[in-house]
Amino acid sequence: MKPIASMRALLGLGDAEGGTDHWWGQRISGIALVLLGLWFVASVLTLPSLEYHVVVEFIGRSLNNVLLSLLCLAAAYHSNLGVQVIIEDYVHASALNRASLMISRIAHFLLAVIAVYAVIRIGNGT
């Protein structure tokens, strides 16, 4: 690792050799989301209703529990990358740029945790 590149990364001064990682991360999570998203839409459409007991019973099944957790994680990850690009494109002031990126990252992380926690709780029948 080049010291200058890692220093830039450390200070959050934008992508230092991280451009291809971002590209691949976006593509791979994108493919995952095509599959998981279509599964979710098909599931919602085939459920007899969206009433409480039906939904909880559906999410509670172990395969659905895993797939829905993956969907939440992939969506939060993909969303984080997308919002990051938008911030990098439109927020130019350095301090504001870094603050926005950090807030977005934390918010996406929290969203993923909250969603997956809820899915797992339903899986445990609480």
Partner 1 sequence: MTLSILHRATGVAMSVGLVLLAAWLTSAAAGAEQYAEFTTLMSTLVGRLLLIGWSFAFFYHLANGIRHFVWDTGRGFEKHQANASAWFLMIFAVAVTVAFWMLLL
* Shortest distance (Å) from residue 37 CB to partner 1: 6
Task: For CA atoms 50, 51, 54, 56, give the dihedral sign.
Answer: positive
- Based on the number of CB atoms within 10 Å of its own CB, is 99 exposed (0-12), middle (13-18) or buried (19 or more)? middle
Which residues between 41 and 70 bind partner 1 (CB under 8 A)? 41, 44-45, 50, 52-53, 55-56, 59, 68
> Between helices 62-90 and 94-123, what is the axis angle to 10°?
170
Question: At its nearest, how many Å lie between partner 1 and the CB of residue 38?
Answer: 8
List interacting residues with partner 1 (CB under 8 A). 27, 30-31, 33-34, 37-38, 41, 44-45, 50, 52-53, 55-56, 59, 68, 72, 75-76, 79, 82-83, 86, 111, 114-115, 117-119, 121-122, 126
